[in-house]
A and B are shown apart, each in its own frame.
Chain A
Amino acid sequence: MKLDIKRVNPVFTWSWDTRDPAAAKDRQYPFLYNYYPVDVEKAHLENGNAVDGDEDEDVCGICRASYNGTCPSCKIPGDSCPLVAGLCHHHFHYHCIFRWLDTNTSKGLCPMCRQQFQLNSKLPINRPYLEKFESITKAIRERVFLDEAFDGNSQQEEYGNEMPSDSGGTGQERRSADQSDLEEDEEEQEDSFYGHLDVNIE
């Protein structure tokens, strides 16, 4: 039997490369700097599993969408909605972790393990964002410092008579008790939450 191959339709798939660069010598496609090809069948399996997400390893711990998908505000996966990898081995969509670090609650911590979130500077996928994260981390450190100083001075005024005068918690705990106060939700527009850093999501 003789077969004539008339047309070939190659199928490619990609994935963010979060592997340790020490293992880079095994890399078959060094020219694919950010991406590495994965087995098509395996990719199908993974996509199938990603549907019921939660317990899946390869989902962003913040939005629970796949690493290779997008954050809730983006439509097109890939360079426009990149993945960043933490030193603690927790990975997130850049936009997701950025929004989290920009909240007062985050205190710069990884949502998964509560260690200071830092990028792994050795991974190529992180390279374009190292500088930006450096400045975020610095801003957070300053903000946490200011918050603490502020809380130490003005607890009385801030909580008035309404709040219990507990001796156990820190000023910061009570401040957020205020923030999650259901009564005040409607009046209190909390967009001020995001107004603290002068770095913006791009």
Chain B
Amino acid sequence: MASLPKRIIKETERLITDPVPGITAEPHDDNLRYFEVTVEGPVGSPYENGIFQLELYLPDDYPMEAPKVRFLTKIYHPNIDRLGRICLDVLKTNWSPALQIRTVLLSIQALLASPNPNDPLANDVAEDWIKDEEAAKQTAKKWSKLYATPKQ
């Protein structure tokens, strides 16, 4: 494997020494481009108290190409599908190499705080969300409890 670009080393160091509140990201021992991520559900959202696991991978062309991020924890959210794929503009058309791992993870946390059923990835969830937001939020809460509660 090619040596790790300085930028990735710097970003990783900063993620560890100066972590974003509510977010952890640790590189894998044998692949420093692969990160195990946890994101706490934002306070006041149906995901509150949940801890969600994600995987983040920096493609060879990073930062020309956005990181690939996916939820590993099951989540009920109109912009996250069954496979954990995330519909978020900065991961796609609005990616810029001026963004970083930390800004991407912050955007994901913000997406949990404000779901956008009008730009869905999980269509059925989005439909529920538009039809009856309260009920959808209850389901999201239930799922968080079921799947995103750390086992003690």
Contact = CB atoms under 8 A, between A and B. Distances in A.
A109 B96 CA distance: 9
A164 B120 contact: yes
A103 B63 CA distance: 11
Interface stretch (B33-41, B85-93, B105-113, B138-146): B85-93
B98 A54 contact: no
Contacts of B89: 173
Contact of A111 (B65, B68, B93, B96): B96
Nearest to A177: B92
Contacts of B121: 164, 177
A166 B92 CA distance: 16
Interface SS majority for chain B: loop
Chain B, interface size: which category? 20 to 34
Interface string B68-111: 10100000000000010101010111011110000000000000
A166 B119 contact: yes
A182 interface: yes
Interface residues of A, number: 35
A166 B98 CA distance: 29
A52 B6 CA distance: 11
Contacts of B21: none
Given A176-B93, A180-B91, A182-B85, A65 B64 contact: no
A114 B95 CA distance: 10
A116 to B, nearest CB: 14
Nearest to B13: A52
A172 interface: yes
A169 interface: yes
B61 interface: yes
Nearest to B92: A176
A179 interface: yes
A193 interface: yes
A63 B14 CA distance: 15
Contact of A100 (B5, B68, B97, B120): B97
A132 B130 CA distance: 50
Contacts of A105: 64-66, 92-93, 95
Which 10 interchain pairs have the tightest Cβ spacing? Answer: A176-B92, A111-B98, A111-B96, A164-B123, A62-B97, A168-B119, A72-B5, A111-B97, A64-B7, A61-B98
